[in-house]
Structure formats: structure tokens, C-alpha cells
Structure 1
Amino acid sequence: MKTQKNLAKATLLAFAAALAFGLTPAEAANIAKVDGQNVTLDNGVIEIHLIKNGTATYVSKNHGPNLVENVIKRKLSFYCDYHPAGQKDLPFLSDEVKVYKNDENEAHIAYIDTKSPLAIEYHYRMTKGDSGLYSYVVARNNTGKTYKVGELRTVYRIDMDKLPYAYNSERQGLMPSSDHMKAFKRLQDETYDMDDGYKYTNGTVYSKYDYCGYLKDNPLWGTFGNGKGFWFIPVSNESYSGGPMKQELLVHYDGIILNYLTSAHFGTSVFPIPKDWQKMYGPWYLYINDGSSDEAVIFDAQRRAAAEQRKSPYTWVSEPESLYPQVRGTVKGTLKLSNGGIVDRAQVILARPGADIVHERGSYIFYTDTDGHGNFTLGKVRPGTYELTAYMQGGYSGDVTTECKKGSIKVEAGKTTDLGTVEWQVPDRQTIWQLGTADRKASEFKYGGELRNYKWWKLLPETDVNYTIGKSVEGQDWYYAQVGRTKYNIHFQQPKVKANTYHLTVALAGYSDQGHGSFDIKLNGKALKHCDYANDQTVYRSGTTSGTYHQEDFDIPAADLKAGDNVVTFDDHEGLIMYDTVVFSAVK
């Protein structure tokens, strides 16, 4: 009896919708109801009301509460915007809604802006009975010249009264509201020293950067609570900028879920978009779920993220092959060191030939890890020509700081490109001592790899640090970063291994400054180099693992070493230096 009443109610609602939109009953069965730029998407499970520019005023599952109810008074949700260099954010301003498909099983629409400097198509796709929807963006330079953009993103504001907790792969916890934060002392951008800070983070200071994360390590992020969740699932990282070391804002205060398609955060610079450039970002998947507990909701979302990754690339995408090829290729091979060493832990990347991966934003990037024998396979690669780059992530050969490069790799649709053995050229040197390991991270040092928080860099010593090879312990006596006007010294004895020339490699996991910082690298008081890098903002924005990688190499004549104690000094002048590894070797 109850089922019959529900069916009757649904029939009346459908008839009412038909009247409201001027539709026939058959048209009312379609998932999308389109009235100018007002669109209702309803697949029987999820209902979303969109208005001009593709923003959402109503998001509900099974006629439950509106998940964006308490955000629309301040700002809309589901919006897209971009930030031209040196200007304020520009909202996406749609001219029209285009309907690609609309029936009772599937709706695919796009809000389109053809007039702005960055022309954008903002797509949504929903299928019958699914507990979410897909979305993607196509962006095009509409200026006829180079156009500089700091960031391009989509943003999902969710009602914190209903979903009060934030989640990413590094952490989960309660979120504050911006009104609550602003009642306390502001230390820097979106960073506050709060009396109740421990409710929201791992310290008294809460920052929006606490919930940043590496895109490589985050198959989903979102908000949850009360047995419900709203999740952003990127599906594939190929269209995001910066490669495997790219870290980004993911979710923070006010229930804000972020999808930065490109940004200048953490060392990725402003994007000078070339004339006539266009790129498709996504698709990603927005998942709304519920369960018997918050733990069950998270586990279910994780399973759905894995399922979406397996389904990608999607056959339903109707963009040109140049924007979204559905048939991909595979690249495989084996890395071998030229000195016979083992490659048991390396990062392998395919990118545009000649690309500076950290700053690569205009094309697509693919990456994977080797197994314990140097073997790798990269699947679902877009057809095209690529350059391979590999670097160590520690392991048996964690003293190798050089990169492996191989160019002119052609990937064809439906085919496997077998590179066979790729020889990784390494210098003919014998390692005498090493601080840390070559993995482009500071995790092995004191406070390194700790859960993100503003407090860590404030715990760094304001006095000189002295580390003695063979006696000191790197996890206790050497810090992940160096700040202020301090000297970090590495003491070592004159090598027993005799050589005419020695070699010093200094690898930094990142470098920040808040003004005009710099530092000098010295050996026994003699300057080797004055260093002044671009600010990657990582150290003072809660990062404890990495920023932008830098490497310096020096040949050291044997005559420059002394009998007894020798000292490598990092003489800091207000820079914020994050360490990866320091290697001293004999040149054979």
C-alpha cells in the first residue's frame, strides 16, 4: 500500500514538473529539465538545481536535506572561476546551456561561455539511478595572444551543519567556519591562532593549508558526517598540473571542496596560456552517499573511487580525439643503472618533450612507480610523443640524485610501446657519506613528514645546528627545514678513500622565503654558491615533506679538504630551506 502511494506521489510530482516547465509527460520523464539557464537534474536518486553559470542551489539524495542549503546566502556552490595573473578572480559567465543528450536514462548538458578571455565549457552528466554525477571543463584561450592565469578551479561548498567533517588521504576532522576563525588572531592568509584549534587540527593554529595533499596520493576527498558524504573523485590525474609531486588545496573550512585544475600553489608558477591553446580537464565524479556509520560512508566512497578509475577513459565523452582520446596506449620498460646498481624504488613520468614537469600545465602528464626490480607499466596513455623522466624515491640506490631521461617515445592508440631496458646513466663515483636519501622529500629528518600544521616550522631551532657524520642521527639531530639567520653544519673527517677530486651534491626538497631570503653553501668556510630560489611557499604553509626540488653539484679538489674535521655549512639569510639529501663522494 505504501509503495502504491509513493508511486502515485511520484506520478503527481512528474506531472507537476511537466506543467512547470511546459513539457509533455514524456519529456518530463527526462533526467534534465531545462528552462533557459535554469536546469533541474533528477535521476530518481539525486536531484540538483542549477542556475546561470552552472552553480547549484539545491543538492539532495532521495529527497533528503539540501546539502547546499546554508551556503547559498553567502556564496553559491558548484561554481567555476579563474584568476588572471595580477587580477581578482573572474567568475565563469555562461552565455547559454547546450544539451548534448537528454532522455530518461542520461542527461549531458554544458554551460558555455564564448566571450570571456578564457572561454569555458562547464559540463555535467547524470545517469538514471546513479548516486552522483560527472563533470568536466574545456578551457580555451580566447584572447588571440598569450594569457596569464594563476588558477582555474571548480568549487563545491557544502552545508557544514549536515556534513561537518573534512576528509583527504592524510587526515580527517572537524572543520571550523570562517566566522569562527576570524574571532581569533590572524597569523597569515587563512591561518589563525585559535583557543580551540585542537578541535580542528593538530595544534592551536588552524590553516586552510592543513588539509592540502598530494594529488598522487588522493583518489578522493570531501566532506562527511551523520552517516552521509559528499565526495570529489578526480578519476585520473592526467590533466592536473605539476606531476606526481604536486600538492594542492583539497578541502577546508566552511565545508569547501576544491578542484584546482591549475594553480600557483606550492611552487607551480603562473600559467602563460599560449595563443589558440585549449584543454579538457577531467572528467571527475561527484558522489553522494550514505551508510550505517561515517566509517562505512568513507569505505564506500573509496570503493567507488577505485571503480571509477577502472572505468576511465569514459566512452560516453563526445569530445574530439585531440581533447579526449578514448583509445589509449601503454608504455612499459625496465630501468637499469649504468653502474649495475638496483632500481628498486623510482618514479617514472611521461610528459611533453622538454617539459619542466613541476611547471607543466598546458598538456597531460602520466606517472607510475617501478616495482622492486625497476620494471614499470604506464597504462591509459593518450596517443602522442613523450619524454620519459625517472628519479629515485629512496631504496637501495637512494644515493642516486641524477635523473633518467629518454626522449621520442611514441604512444599509439591500442598499442603497447615496449622500451625494453632503459639505461640510467649515473656518474662514476663512490659514495663516502650521505645525509638523508634521494627521494625529493624531507620525511627522514626531525619533524619531516609530520601531519601538516603551521607549528612545525616554528619549532625549528633559532641557533646553529652541528651534525657529525658517523655519530649524529638524522631523525633526531638534523631538521627537515632551516630558518632564520642560522648555520647548519655537517662535520666529517678527511676521507680514507683517496681521490684527486671529490663531489658534493646538495639536494633540497623545497625552498621558501617571506621576503628576500637566500643562503650560502660553504666548505671549510669557502663559498661554493650563493643560492636564491623562487619561493614555493611550502614551509610556512604547513608543509613538512616537499616543495619545489632544487639540486646543486660541486666538484671538490682534494686540496680543499683538511686533515681531521671538515665542515659543509648552509649559511642561511632568512631563507626557509627544506632538505632532501646531501651526498659526498669520490670521483673515480
Structure 2
Amino acid sequence: MKYSAIALSLLLAGTSQAKQYGFLKDNGDGSWIIGNDVWNMTQEQIYGSKLYYKDQELVGEATGHYVSYNGAASNLAWTSAKIVKTGSNYVDVQFDAAEGEMHWVIFNGLAGAYQYFVNRALPVLGEFRTLWRLDNETFTSAYNADKDGVLPPLSEYAISTKIQDETWKTPEGDYLTKYDWSGFVREQEYWGVYGEKFGSWYLHPGKDYFNGDHLKQELMNHRESATGDAVQLNMIHGTHFQALSNDVLPNGKIWGPWLWYLNDGSKTDVARRYNNEINSWPYKWLDDAAYKSRVASVTGKLLLSDGRPAAGAAVFLGDNHPNKTTLDMGSDYYYTTYAGNDGSFRFIDVRIGVYALQAWSNGGSIGDVTTTYLKNDVDVSDSPTSKTRLEKLTWSVLKSDTIFQVGGFDRKSTGFAFSGGFGAGRVANCPANLTYTVGSSQESDWCFAQNAIGTYRIAFPLSASNITNDALLTVSLAGYSQGTTVNIFANEVRIGNLSSSGILSDPSLYRSGTVAGEWHQFEFPIKGSTFKTNNKIDFRVMSLSSSLWRGPIYDAVKLEWI
């Protein structure tokens, strides 16, 4: 049923929360209506099937709003609903399922609602999400920080050929895939779907509840290929670009709050709203002791053991005494930042707890650093100043007598040819064969990934006085999708390989990623007897997987004397 202004006022008058204009109405048939004087939604057992805003219904023939985990395998079913808190200008509506509590915090006059989820009994999982699937004629475009544009119409999928994992080839030879609408989670201010008159957005001013580190990527928007729904996806715990993420989630873990926001489709308006939310984070209205127990800042300064400041380093607060990579962490709460030019760093609004601090090169002036800094038992506890200051931190780095280096160590393919953003099949632009000549080639002469039978060669000279010395080849991968084996040769002597037998596979390369996936680093010793005055290191692909776009994404390659 659609509520006109008069009908809505009568509905409000018939509820115990009429003064607040935020309401919950039990329809008595296993469904409820929530909203305020601006919008309202009908929540059924699983789906929020009707959404009214500005006298228009915005779900249409689409599925609506729902919450699920491990892909679409398990949708949460709501068994009850109640108002659990009433403020001076809002109500907190809680929907209960066996797995936990979904909250909608509805403020007077707000077009949208704050949302958060409290875990009670979620299983060990990789993916957990909320989402809207909305009317495709109303919401024709999508936006995130990495991509903005018109969603492809369903008719375009109908005339294209599916080639793999939600990816189609058009008659013109282009590619359609939902994964082009992905982004780096911690770089996002807002994302959503919009059209000429309406926009539906997610704003996450706090990001500590997301799993992963700086390089956590996720699918954010797309056209649903089976139905044409415009999808606004909220992967609050996701694995779309990871090899592993199986997390045990503590009872009481909170994802959020974030703001689901409706407007007229204006990105200027939603950007302004995001700035307001940043200034209000963490929200004072959420009455949870652990959520409110925070320090204003955690600060420190990282210096390399060779005297350099750790300028620009990626710095991470996460699991203490970790047994997972920073990207794969997800049970608790995580904080990311980058060091300044002097090596100083600052995290803000950090929950009380004990963490491990990790740091790694983000390129630039420390782009030669191959090691990772780790400091366990970082005690973030309340203090009179609400600040935690760490002593000067020394990052041990090895002295290096470098022969050559291709790319900067930053766990990304940045600087290499065709790297940047998301694009299905981009690796097909990389040549089968290339030669990088030390001393004359540029970083951009190396391609970001390798997926063709052929050889990527690094050619370099050595003086006769050095050719009996042993050396170490360090190969850092920004990602790896299994199926393509790269054999590595030094002057035709095989020194190792990059293959699925020894590397966990992530989907980044075949899911439109061109920058990063799961990071891996390998060291290959080379005996001095192998060298000549003119040398070559070859990365050679001799056979391919039958699947498309498999192989390594390169971060950096370094050869040094040992």
C-alpha cells in the first residue's frame, strides 16, 4: 500500500512514536512498515519489498532490500521487530533473525536511515552483506570513487556471450562484467545508484568494521544480469578479490553504523552529507559500551634502521600476534593510515584493545624496502588525554647492494603498463613478449600482468669483476590468479617458478582488477657462476590455463648481491 501525506499522518498518529515521525508498524501478517514523514518501506520476512520516497515507489519489479551471508546462499529471515530506543529526534528499530540484529535508526525528516548489524550467531564466513536491488528505470547509473557512469541495460547482456564468472563478450568485442563496478573500500566516501530524479547511497564515515587492509577491494554496484535490477551492494565483510577470508566472528561484533541516504541523484549533495557524517563519527547516539570505548588517537613515528624516515609507508593496526595476512584479517576491527614524509603516523577514534602494528613500503623514497615492520602487543587503553603515543619505532631493513629494480615495492602494480582502476580483460593488452633493458627502459615498459605464452625479459650488464658473486632475486606479486605458471630463468638456468602449486589463488586478475589482489613475495638465490657480462632474467610462460586472464600481477622485481 502506498501512503499519501494524509494516510501517513494517520498512520503516525496511530503509533506510540507519533511525536518522533519515525515509526514501526506491525501489519500482523509477518510484515512491518518502517519509515518517517519522508520515506517508508515494507519489510517482509526476508525482503524490503516496497520503498516510497517523494510519492514514488523505488523498488518496482526488483527484489528490494535484504541481508545475506556467503554470497546468496543464506538470506536472513526476520522473526520479530521492535523499537529498542527512542531519542529526542529518532527511533532505533531492531529486526531480529537467528544470526543477529539489523537496526534502522530513523531520524526526523531524514531521507534514509542509519543502519548497523550486531552479530549473535553468524557462522564462520567469508561474505556478509546488506544491499538494495532497485528499479532499473529509476536508477540508471552507478557511482563509486573508481567508476561513475550509466549501467549497461539488460538488453545488452541478452545479445552478448557469457565467457566466465559474470562476464560477457559483446558483439563488438568489448566486455560486460559487474566487477568493473568495484573499488578500494577504504578510499570510498560514498557509493550508490542514481538517475535523473533519485539517488540511493551508502556513506561509511567509519571503516574500522570492514575486514582487510588498505588494499581491500569490493564489488559495490552493478546491473543484475538475470533480472536487470540496479544493485547497490554493501559488502561489509567481503571476499570478492581475496584468496582467503574465513573469519570467526565474536558475539556482539557491530558492523556500522553507516548511513543509507536518499536524494535527488545529486553527487554534490551526497558529498556534502558525507562531510557532515565524518564530523559526527563516531555517532554519540549508539549506546554500546565497546563502541564508545575509544581513544581519540594513536600516534607514532617509524624510522628505518638505515636512518631514513618511513615516508609514505602503509601503516595498519590489526590482530595481535597475527596468523593471517593483513588483507585476510576480519574477525575484529582494523585501522589504516599512511605515514607522513617524516615517518609519523596517526590513527583516530580507535577502539580500546590490544593490537599488532604493521607497516610496509608504499613506494616512493622507500620503494626499495622489501621487509614488513611488525610490533605486537600495542596496548590501546583509555587515558586522561584519550591518546596513545608510541615510542620511536625502528624498522629493521637490510643493507642492499642493488643490481637492478623494476617497480617500487608497494604491493601494487602502479606504474606498469595498463595498470589502474578496474577493467575486464585488460591483461589481454599486455604483450606476449617484452624486454626491459636496465639503464634505458622505463617502469611503464613492464606490463602489470602476464597471461600469454611468451617471455618477459630483464636484460642487464655486469662488470667482469662481479660475475662470480652470488645474488638474490626478489619477486613481489601484487596478486595471482591460478592457472598460468611462470618459470624463471637466469641466463637459461631455471631458478624457480610462480605457480598454483605454491601460491594461493585470488580472483583479482579475472575479476577486472589491475592493481592488486593477494600480495606474495618470493626470493630466488642465483649462484655467481650463472652470471656473464651480459645477462638476462626471463619470466617465461610455456603453457596456459583454459580459463581466461590467469597469472601474476607484478609489484616489483629486484636483484641484489648477497
Give me the TM-score of the superposition, normalised by structure 1. 0.86
Cα 1:586–1:340, aligned 2, differ >3 Å: closer, same or farther? farther
Contact 2:412 2:516 in 1 (8 A): yes
Contact 2:12 2:21 in 1 (8 A): no
Give the equivalent residue in structure 2 for 1:280: 254
Give the equivalent residue in structure 1 for 2:314: 347
What are the ranges of 5 or more consecutive residues in structure 1 without an aligned counterpart?
1-8, 197-202
**Which aligned pairs between 1:105-116 and structure 2 lie closer than 5 A?**
105-114=89-98
**Hey, what's the Cα distance between the residues in 2 that align with 1:519 and 1:408?**
39
Q: Work out whether 1:45 is the aligned partner of 2:28.
A: no
**Hey, what's the Cα distance between the residues in 2 that align with 1:107 and 1:580?**
49
Residues 309-361 of structure 1, C-alpha deviations (whole Å, 9 max, x = no match): 2211112112342xx23433421111111112242211100001133211111
Cα 1:29–1:447, aligned 2, differ >3 Å: closer, same or farther? closer
Q: Work out whether 1:160 is the aligned partner of 2:136.
A: yes
Which of 69, 77, 97 aligns to 1:93? It is 77
Cα 1:23–1:381, aligned 2, differ >3 Å: closer, same or farther? closer
Q: Tell me which amino acid in the other structure corresponds to 1:101.
A: K
Contact 1:438 1:581 in 2 (8 A): yes
Q: Tell me which amino acid in the other structure corresponds to 2:411.
A: R
More helix by share: 1
Give the equivalent residue in structure 2 for 1:307: 276
Contact 1:95 1:113 in 2 (8 A): yes
Q: Work out whether 1:493 is the aligned partner of 2:461.
A: yes
Cα 1:302–1:23, aligned 2, differ >3 Å: closer, same or farther? closer
**Hey, what's the Cα distance between the residues in 1 that align with 2:124 and 2:35?**
38
How far the C-alpha of 1:234 sits from its partner, in A, is 2.0
Which of 395, 418, 428 aligns to 1:458? It is 428
**Hey, what's the Cα distance between the residues in 2 that align with 1:16 and 1:271?**
45
Give the equivalent residue in structure 2 for 1:586: 561
Contact 1:122 1:138 in 2 (8 A): yes
Cα 1:580–1:329, aligned 2, differ >3 Å: closer, same or farther? same
Q: Work out whether 1:33 is the aligned partner of 2:7.
A: no
Q: Tell me which amino acid in the other structure corresponds to 1:441.
A: K
**SS in structure 1 opposite 2:294?**
coil
Which of 196, 215, 224 aligns to 1:245? It is 215
**Hey, what's the Cα distance between the residues in 2 that align with 1:192 and 1:553?**
38
How far the C-alpha of 1:576 sits from its partner, in A, is 0.8
Give the equivalent residue in structure 2 for 1:136: 116
**SS in structure 2 opposite 1:584?**
strand
Contact 2:15 2:23 in 1 (8 A): no
Contact 2:243 2:505 in 1 (8 A): no
How far the C-alpha of 1:298 sits from its partner, in A, is 0.5
Give the equivalent residue in structure 2 for 1:81: 68
Contact 1:268 1:358 in 2 (8 A): no
Cα 1:428–1:139, aligned 2, differ >3 Å: closer, same or farther? same
Cα 1:244–1:497, aligned 2, differ >3 Å: closer, same or farther? farther
**SS in structure 2 opposite 1:14?**
helix
Give the equivalent residue in structure 1 for 2:263: 289
Which of 10, 16, 29 aligns to 1:15? It is 10
**SS in structure 2 opposite 1:241?**
coil
**Which aligned pairs between 1:180-219 and structure 2 lie closer than 5 A?**
180-195=156-171, 204-219=174-189
How far the C-alpha of 1:543 sits from its partner, in A, is 1.1
What are the ranges of 5 or more consecutive residues in structure 2 without an aligned counterpart?
224-228, 545-549
Which of 48, 51, 58 aligns to 1:56? It is 48
Cα 1:538–1:469, aligned 2, differ >3 Å: closer, same or farther? same
Q: Tell me which amino acid in the other structure corresponds to 1:336.
A: L
Identity level (%): 29
How far the C-alpha of 1:108 sits from its partner, in A, is 0.7
Residues 140-184 of structure 1, C-alpha deviations (whole Å, 9 max, x = no match): 336xxxx44231111111222122110010121111244541332
Cα 1:234–1:447, aligned 2, differ >3 Å: closer, same or farther? same
Q: Work out whether 1:478 is the aligned partner of 2:446.
A: yes
Which of 186, 190, 198 aligns to 1:220? It is 190
Q: Tell me which amino acid in the other structure corresponds to 1:583.
A: K
Contact 2:177 2:424 in 1 (8 A): yes
Cα 1:52–1:553, aligned 2, differ >3 Å: closer, same or farther? same
Cα 1:434–1:376, aligned 2, differ >3 Å: closer, same or farther? same
Which of 283, 287, 299 aligns to 1:332? It is 299
How far the C-alpha of 1:68 sits from its partner, in A, is 1.5
**SS in structure 2 opposite 1:399?**
coil
**Hey, what's the Cα distance between the residues in 1 that align with 2:311 and 2:485?**
35
Contact 2:20 2:90 in 1 (8 A): no
**Hey, what's the Cα distance between the residues in 2 that align with 1:566 and 1:530?**
19
Q: Work out whether 1:263 is the aligned partner of 2:232.
A: no
Cα 1:497–1:150, aligned 2, differ >3 Å: closer, same or farther? farther
How far the C-alpha of 1:257 sits from its partner, in A, is 0.8
Give the equivalent residue in structure 1 for 2:339: 370
How far the C-alpha of 1:103 sits from its partner, in A, is 7.0
Give the equivalent residue in structure 1 for 2:226: none
How far the C-alpha of 1:95 sits from its partner, in A, is 1.7
**SS in structure 1 opposite 2:125?**
strand
Contact 2:295 2:387 in 1 (8 A): no
Q: Tell me which amino acid in the other structure corresponds to 1:60.
A: Y
Give the equivalent residue in structure 2 for 1:4: none
Give the equivalent residue in structure 1 for 2:484: 517
**SS in structure 2 opposite 1:420?**
coil
Contact 2:451 2:484 in 1 (8 A): no
Q: Work out whether 1:387 is the aligned partner of 2:356.
A: yes
Cα 1:13–1:300, aligned 2, differ >3 Å: closer, same or farther? closer
Q: Tell me which amino acid in the other structure corresponds to 1:100.
A: V
Q: Tell me which amino acid in the other structure corresponds to 1:261.
A: I
How far the C-alpha of 1:272 sits from its partner, in A, is 4.5
Residues 516-547 of structure 1, C-alpha deviations (whole Å, 9 max, x = no match): 43322332222322333122111111111111
**SS in structure 2 opposite 1:344?**
coil
Cα 1:484–1:99, aligned 2, differ >3 Å: closer, same or farther? same
Cα 1:29–1:560, aligned 2, differ >3 Å: closer, same or farther? closer
Q: Tell me which amino acid in the other structure corresponds to 2:402.
A: T
How far the C-alpha of 1:500 sits from its partner, in A, is 4.4
Q: How many residues align?
A: 538
**Hey, what's the Cα distance between the residues in 2 that align with 1:430 and 1:329?**
42
**Hey, what's the Cα distance between the residues in 1 that align with 2:339 and 2:277?**
23
How far the C-alpha of 1:191 sits from its partner, in A, is 1.2
**Hey, what's the Cα distance between the residues in 1 that align with 2:237 and 2:34?**
28
Cα 1:187–1:379, aligned 2, differ >3 Å: closer, same or farther? same
Contact 1:242 1:268 in 2 (8 A): no
How far the C-alpha of 1:28 sits from its partner, in A, is 7.4
Measured on the aligned residues, the alpha-carbon RMSD in Å equals 2.4
Give the equivalent residue in structure 2 for 1:199: none
How far the C-alpha of 1:23 sits from its partner, in A, is 4.5
**SS in structure 1 opposite 2:59?**
coil
How far the C-alpha of 1:30 sits from its partner, in A, is 4.5
**Hey, what's the Cα distance between the residues in 2 that align with 1:467 and 1:103?**
64
Residues 160-212 of structure 1, C-alpha deviations (whole Å, 9 max, x = no match): 2122110010121111244541332111122112247xxxxxx8211100010
Moved more, 215-224 or 147-156: 147-156
How far the C-alpha of 1:278 sits from its partner, in A, is 4.7
Give the equivalent residue in structure 1 for 2:498: 531
Give me the TM-score of the superposition, normalised by structure 2. 0.89
